[in-house]
Every structure is written in structure tokens, then in C-alpha cells.
Chain A
């Protein structure tokens, strides 16, 4: 895929903001068909999974922290304590319709392998991640000469779990390399609202604070 000329079907902005759910979760949830089977990798306290289950999705989760798993289990969700880098290997091929990685890609040791595994386990993958090409990031590096920190990514460079930051452009390039079909894409602004649909990629890469991608195998 050529980064300069995206001809992707773009997702319509969601108007379903009740305040109960994170808006990036709503964007992800709208990409998932009802009645499907979903694995949410790095599911945190299960907010997205619960949203999906309310929409008739059969959901499963993987979460690194025991506290997160406990909160999920208390909500009646089926969540395994584990880690995207090591535990996806054990899932059989095609066991889910969708595998979701929400705001976790940048914290994995081997993002490429994780992505490949996701598309082995699931027919489709949905990935959302913070865009390191976001203008505020660029400004901090350019003007202050320091590793960027934002409201959503407040950790310092030495204690951040985020070891593999990338830009929207980088991610699209990786998808090209591993032969992934991009089905839908959306960039979200700092309020996690979708940017206007007809914007060019460079605009997304500059003004999207995060990217959300729906992909499938070629």
C-alpha cells in the first residue's frame, strides 16, 4: 500500500457518545460485527469487552496485571492473565473472528510477531495505538529536544512500558511489508473523536493522536 494515496473505506464518526464508554472503544466496537467471537489482547479492566458483550459479541480477554484480571472476572468476563508477546502462540488458527489490540502494540516486545499472530488467530485484527507522529510529539522533540510526554502518555522515557512507539505512517508501512489488507482506518484527535474523513494520510499522521485500523489477511 502506498502511504501517499489511501483509498480506504473510512469509518463513519460515531455519535454514540454517552460518556459511559471511552470514545476510542466505541470506534473499535463499531468495527465489530454482532454475534462474532472476539479476543481482546491487553483488555485492562474489561471496559471494551463489556461494551462488546452488551452488543452481542462473545468476548475473551488477555491481560497482564492480576488486578485487571480480577476486575474483569468480577464483571463476569472471561480473561486470562498473560502477555501478548508470549501467550498468543498457544491459540489455534482461526479461533476468533476478531483479535483486538487496543493501545497495547507499542508496549509489546515484538510488535510485528504480535500482529502476525493476531491475524493467524483471528480472521481480522483491530489495532489502535498512539501516533508518535502527532504534532505535539514532533514539537516537543523539535523545540524542547526531549522525549515527548502528553496527557495520554505521561510516563518518562525511563519508566514507560511503551518501548515500540510508531507513527501512523510507520504502521501502514509495516502492514504493507507483512502483506496485510487494510479494511478500514480512522485517526482520532486528542478527544478520541475521528478526524474528518477525506483528509490525506499526511494530515492524519500529523493531527491524529491515535490510529485505529481494521485489517484482514490478504
Chain B
């Protein structure tokens, strides 16, 4: 632990982060040798654990469970204070008593994805065979692997059919994967700001992020924990670059314009003269407090590999053939990371299969991140869809 001290001055919360990777402040489902996770790369991951949070209560019929799937850098702390950062949950705009995802009516589950760093087994966890942190010895995981692990968790909780699977971005990919892999276990699905495959542009952005991490001398070939370092600079740059893709030109202009940070005139230096620079630096430095660099490599890779059509003879519609799931697909006008055209491709494939699908494009200048923000038109749509689907499933109304 002394070695960790050497980077502690740069990174607050690094000890909490290390602790949460194995001993999370969450519920934990352990899967022993009898229940290995069969990964797409051919490896059987065993033993492993999934950390999760729940909100609301499961009804007697076990028919009101909603699985929320978190995005790339999200975690299971949807609607509670985060154990590392002390901040509010990432989807408190949407999830809670009386909210669109009404915890008075639904039993809400969110688990940290396998490969994550908030308590589900991943590269930041201890490899039981070596007693050391997995690092790059951790097998490469995919979106279908994440969903397979979630399905094991849902089994573990004794739930046959999920009332809804909901998620945005990488979470939306998981939603689509759920409906393709377990069509009879998903009553309704809400994939938001996502796609059935990762575009070349998005793979390119991810590669920039990974190269930034790996170019940091403190990354040490992925063995930074053993060596007492932390590639926070590389990961910070990766986050800064990625964060730009989550916003939009219009949103950045509206929020910052060319305004200066705490000064009137340029300093003629490389200080953060502009507010937008200062903002990005803050985004980078606060991210590294709570996220493991190797985990970032693995999860971005999982998104890159995602391509549902490829798993169905190249025909997307095959993935959703004769599905009985009710779908509501949502995109945002200013999202250039997962543009509306990609959501429309999903809709067309679902239509081709005769699925019961609704689709809406929400007008906003807030970019990809709009699904995490207080965008009333979006929240109304989620509420409308879940309420009517809940009625169709015979769920009692929320209190």
C-alpha cells in the first residue's frame, strides 16, 4: 500500500477506488466454479462476481423488474450517493419514487458490467490464481459477455422475465443484445442513443483514448498497480477527448463560447485560458479518481467489437425476427457519436421483423450526453413508454 501513496497526492480517492474494485459498497452476486462465464474469446471466467444495486421492491409475480444498463464510464450507482466520489447517482433525473422509472412501481436493478472497476470482476480485480491484480491478463470481453453475466445475475435473483431493459450508449447496446439473445426474457426494451454496431469513427475515437492511456509512462504495460503508479495523465487525456464527443458544437458554444477562465486577457501561455479548456481538464481529472485505466481499455474494446448483424449472417433483421418485445428507440438530434441514422437502422430492422416498435428523435443541442441530462421531452417519452408497457403487463400503478 505504500506504493499507492506515491500517487495518492495526485489522485484523491485512489484507495477507495482500489477497494471498490474487489469489495464494493454494493450487493454482490458470487459465481463459483459451477457457474463459469463463457466469454466470446473462448475463455471461461471463473470464479467471478457481479456488483449491483437495486431500488424499489420486486412484486409477488416477479414481473416488475427493470434492468438498467450503464454506459461506458457509468456504474451501478444509478440513484444513490456514489461511494467513491460522493456525488449523486448518474440517472437520478430518471430513476426514483414518482420519476419516469418509478421505483414505487418497478423493481430497478443495475449491475456493474463485467470488465468494469466498481466491484464486478474486471482488470482491476484480484486474480485469485495469482493473488495480484488481473491487469492485461484479464480476458477481452464483449457486449454479449456483459449481457450473459447480467442474465446470470437475473437468474440468481429468481427473475424469469424482465419487465424492461433500459440503457443509453453502451447501455443501449446491451439492451439490443438482450433482445437479440434473450427475446423471451424481455417484455419491453428501451435502447437510447445507441447503435447495433460501433462505427469506424467511434472505433477511431476509442483508439485515440487507448493510445493516450498506453502512452503514459505510468501505465507500465498495464501493471501500474503492482508498480505503484497510475496512468492518470493518459486516462485524463482519453477522457477529455471522449468528453468532446459526448457534447456538441452548439452546446460547447452555448456553455463556454470563447470566454476566458478567471482572467480578462490571454496569458500568452499554455495555461487553461479558455473556460472550455478548464472544463475539460476538470472532466479529465475528476474521471481518473473513480475509473481504472485498464478497465477503460477493456470496455472501449467491447464497444468496438459490437456488431449484432455480424452475429446473424450479416442481416440485422435476423437478430430481431419474430420478437415479441415492445421496443421504444430514442435518439437525439445533436448526437454525432450515435446519430439518429443509426437508431433508424435499428427501427428499420425491427420493422422488417414486424416488431412492436416506437421511435422518437428528441430535439436538443446537448449532444450524446442528453440521455443523462434533464431533457423533459426525453423523460416524458420514457415515462409514457414504461407506463403503457406496465399497463399492458398488468403492473399495479405506482403509489
- The answer to whether B359 and A82 touch across the interface, beta carbons within 8 angstroms, is yes
- The 8 Å CB contact of B392, one of A37, A74, A76, is A76
User: Is the Cβ of B388 less than 8 Å from the Cβ of A95?
Assistant: no
| CA–CA, A105 and B216, complex, Å | 61
Contact partner of B360 among A70, A90, A95, CB < 8 A? A70
Which residues of B in the span 341-399 have a Cβ within 8 Å of any Cβ on A? 344, 347-348, 351-352, 354, 356-363, 377, 380-381, 384-385, 387-389, 391-392
Considering the chains assembled together, what is the distance between the CA atoms of A77 and B388 in angstroms? 9
The B272-297 residues at the A interface (CB cut-off 8 A) are none
Q: Which residues of chain B from 94 to 127 have any CB-CB distance to chain A below 8 Å in the complex?
A: none
Check B82 for interface membership: any CB of A closer than 8 A: no
Bound complex: CA A75 to CA B389 (Å)? 9
**Chain A residues whose CB sits within 8 angstroms of the CB of B385 once the complex forms:** 73
Using known A-B contacts A66-B377, A73-B328, A73-B384, determine if residue A80 contacts B359 with beta carbons closer than 8 Å.
yes
B243 to A: closest C-beta gap in Å: 27
Q: Given contacts A78-B326, A90-B351, are A70 and B380 in contact (CB under 8 A)?
A: yes
Provide the residues of chain A in CB contact with B328, threshold 8 Å.
73
- Check A78/B358 contact, CB under 8 A, given A66-B363, A95-B351, A95-B352: yes
Q: Is A21 an interface residue (CB 8 A)?
A: no
With A90-B351, A92-B352, A95-B351 as given contacts, are A74 and B358 in contact (CB-CB < 8 Å)? no
Residues of B within 8 A of A76 (CB): 388-389, 391-392
Q: Which of A70, A74, A78 contacts B356, CB < 8 Å?
A: A78
State whether the Cβ of A72 lies closer than 8 Å to any Cβ in chain B: yes
Contacts of A80 in B (CB 8 A): 347, 351, 357-359
Q: Residue of B at shortest CB range from A69?
A: B360
Q: Which of A39-77 contact B (CB under 8 A)?
A: 60, 66, 69-77
- Chain B residues, CB < 8 A from A69: 358-360, 381
Count of A interface residues, CB-CB < 8 Å: 21
Asked if residues A66 and B360 are in contact (CB atoms below 8 Å), the reply is yes
Q: Which residues of A contact B391 (CB under 8 A)?
A: 76
Residues in chain A near residue B377, CB distance under 8 A = 66, 70
Shortest distance in angstroms between B66's beta carbon and chain A's nearest beta carbon? 17
Complex: chain A residue closest to B381, CB-CB: A70
Closest-by-CB residue of A relative to B382 is A73
B348 touching A90 by the CB < 8 A rule?
A: yes
B357 near A78 (CB under 8 angstroms)? Answer: yes
Interface size on B, residues (CB 8 A): 27
Q: Which of chain A's residues has its CB closest to B357's CB?
A: A78
Q: Which residue of A lies closest to B388 (CB)?
A: A76
A190 to B359, CA, bound (A): 35
Alpha-carbon gap, A80 to B363, bound state (A): 15
A71 to B351, CA, bound (A): 20
Instruction: Determine the chain A residues whose CB is within 8 A of the CB of B352 once the complex forms.
Output: 91-92, 95
Are B388 and A66 within 8 A (Cβ)?
no
**CA separation between A72 and B354, bound complex, in Å?**
18
> In whole angstroms, what is the CA distance A152 to B131 when docked?
77
Known: A69-B358, A81-B360, A81-B361. A74 touches B351 (CB 8 A): no
Least Cβ distance of B89 to chain A in Å?
A: 25
Smallest beta-carbon distance B387→chain A, Å: 7
Contact at B388–A74, with CB atoms within 8 Å? yes
Kindly list chain B residues whose C-beta atoms are within 8 Å of the C-beta of A66: 360-363, 377
> Which residues on A sit within 8 Å (CB–CB) of B389?
76
Which of B357, B359, B389, B392 has most A Cβ within 10 Å? B359
Q: How far is the CA of A81 from the CA of B362 in the complex (A)?
A: 10
CB nearest to A71 among chain B residues: B384
**Interface membership of A79, Cβ < 8 A:** yes
In the complex, are the beta carbons of A79 and B361 less than 8 A apart?
Answer: no
Q: Is the CB of A75 within 8 A of B351?
A: no
C-alpha gap A74/B390 in the complex (Å): 11
Name which residue of chain B comes closest to A74, CB basis: B384
Contacts of B381 in A (CB 8 A): 69-70, 73
CB contacts under 8 Å to A, within B153-169, are: none
Chain B residues, CB < 8 A from A78: 326-327, 356-358
What are 30 A-to-B residue pairs whose CB atoms are below 8 Å?
Answer: A60-B357, A66-B361, A66-B363, A69-B358, A69-B359, A69-B381, A70-B360, A73-B328, A73-B358, A74-B384, A74-B388, A76-B388, A76-B392, A78-B326, A78-B357, A79-B358, A80-B347, A80-B351, A81-B359, A81-B360, A81-B361, A90-B344, A90-B351, A91-B348, A91-B352, A92-B351, A92-B352, A95-B351, A95-B352, A95-B354
Residue ranges of A at the interface with B (Cβ–Cβ < 8 Å): 37, 60, 66, 69-82, 90-92, 95
Report B's interface with A, CB cutoff 8 A: 326-328, 344, 347-348, 351-352, 354, 356-363, 377, 380-381, 384-385, 387-389, 391-392
Give 19 new A-B contacts, CB below 8 A, not counting A66-B363, A91-B351, A91-B352.
A60-B351, A69-B358, A69-B359, A69-B381, A70-B380, A70-B384, A72-B358, A73-B358, A74-B384, A74-B388, A76-B392, A78-B327, A80-B351, A80-B359, A81-B360, A90-B348, A90-B351, A95-B351, A95-B352
Q: Which 3 A-B pairs have the closest CB atoms?
A: A76-B388, A74-B384, A90-B348
